Amino acid sequence: MTARFAIVALILMVSLTGCRRNKSQPAERAETPEERRAANEAGFRKNIPVLDRTIVTNDLSQLHLFMMTARTNKWLTGKETADAIRKDADFKKMASQIDDGTYVIVDQPADGGIIAYCSKETTLGQAAVRASGEITFHKPDELKALLAQQKR
């Protein structure tokens, strides 16, 4: 009886625990925190439009503040502003966004005119910041017309 009990217990234990073979897992590529953060931000911006507008308006406000503090008696050119932003350690992300064309700095803007804008359209249109710090949203054609009129 004890032999039968031992065999049944052994079979029961083997059937419950199963075979512990390690299946080969596909090697996962380790993401850097910056890549993960960028992927999360892109997903949130796509699925939550108000977040996209908030990020764009915040970036344009920061760009306006930077340009106002760098300004002496006239606005810097777009190249001078971009070079100054690249030198500032706090603006690394902004510098990369200027380099890839997300944010465009207007050369020698008119007083009260648009000094920078976001080339990517949000749900309200393209965001632009004026010399006064006011952020406005325009349709792409409307923004091009305002910039052309401003150059005169």
Alpha-carbon distance 107 to 105, whole Å? 6
Which backbone phi and psi does 116 adopt, to 5 degrees? Answer: -160, 155
State how far the Cα of 75 lies from the Cα of 43, in Å rounded to an integer.
Answer: 36
What letter would DSSP give residue 90? G
| pTM for the full predicted model | 0.68
**With 0-12 CB in 10 A as exposed, 13-18 as middle and 19+ as buried, what is 52?**
buried
Per residue in 11-35, pLDDT tens? 767 666 765 666 666 666 777 888 8
* DSSP code of residue 119: S
100 token code pair? 């890839």
Could you tell me which of 134, 138, 132 has the C-alpha nearest to residue 119? 138
pLDDT at 25: 64
Looking at the predicted structure, is the pLDDT value of residue 135 above 90? yes
More confident of the two residues 152 and 37: 37
